[in-house]
């Protein structure tokens, strides 16, 4: 007879609440690789976040867009250049613009993004109906 570990008895909602407290995306990636239940908890925790900051993270178009798509309650997005060189491009902004949360974004920071042009910013801004603040230089 298999014995269930105490941690396995935690409901997904409680795991998601715990995972919201983890701010490091590296740590979240490691947590999501533990098991399917934890991966689901990480995904659910992203859904409840109101702000995401990738400042200080080495992110690319695909991974950034994937995380933003899961953050359906998102209001503030910071994908500013980090010291490691964030690699977001216009293609990444296009992928981000497909996320359901985009119309609710009130703040976006794209400071120092060398791969982003005015065309990519204009496309994203055209879909951000609640946008109040944009930082882009």
pLDDT at 111 over 70: yes
Domain boundaries, the chain: 7-46, 49-136
Main-chain dihedrals φ then ψ at residue 67, nearest 5 degrees: -65, -40
Hey, how many other C-beta atoms are within 10 angstroms of the C-beta on 7?
11
Main-chain dihedrals φ then ψ at residue 58, nearest 5 degrees: -90, 100
Q: Please, which pLDDT band fits residue 137 given cuts at 50, 70 and 90? A: low
Distance CA 137, CA 122 (A): 13
Query: What is the assigned CATH class of domain 49-136?
Result: alpha beta
- The CATH number assigned to the domain with range 7-46 reads 1.20.1280
Q: What is the pLDDT of residues 41-86, one digit of tens each?
A: 999 998 888 988 877 777 788 888 888 998 989 999 988 875 555 6
State the pTM of this model.
0.79
**Residues near 66 by Cβ (< 8 Å), separated by ≥ 6?**
none
At 101 the pLDDT is 93
Is 136 buried (19+), middle (13-18) or exposed (0-12) by CB count in 10 A? middle
> Are 7-46 and 49-136 equal in CATH topology?
no
The answer to whether 88 and 111 have CB atoms below 8 angstroms apart is no
Q: Which residue has the tokens 């715990």?
A: 18
Q: Please, which pLDDT band fits residue 127 given cuts at 50, 70 and 90? A: very high
Q: Which residue has the tokens 């995904």?
A: 43
Q: What is the mean pLDDT of the chain?
A: 84
At 91 the pLDDT is 93
């Amino acid at each position: 007879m298999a014995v269930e570990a105490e941690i396995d008895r935690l409901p997904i909602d409680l795991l998601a609440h715990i995972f919201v407290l983890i701010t490091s995306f590296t740590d979240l990636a490691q947590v999501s690789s533990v098991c399917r239940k934890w991966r689901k908890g990480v995904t659910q925790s992203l859904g409840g976040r109101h702000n995401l900051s990738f400042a200080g993270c080495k992110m690319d178009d695909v991974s950034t867009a994937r995380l933003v798509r899961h953050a359906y309650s998102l209001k503030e997005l910071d994908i500013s250049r980090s010291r490691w060189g964030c690699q977001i491009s216009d293609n990444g902004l296009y992928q981000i613009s497909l996320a359901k949360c985009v119309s609710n974004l009130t703040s976006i920071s794209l400071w120092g993004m060398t791969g982003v042009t005015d065309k990519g910013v204009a496309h994203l801004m055209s879909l951000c109906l609640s946008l109040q603040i944009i930082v882009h230089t």
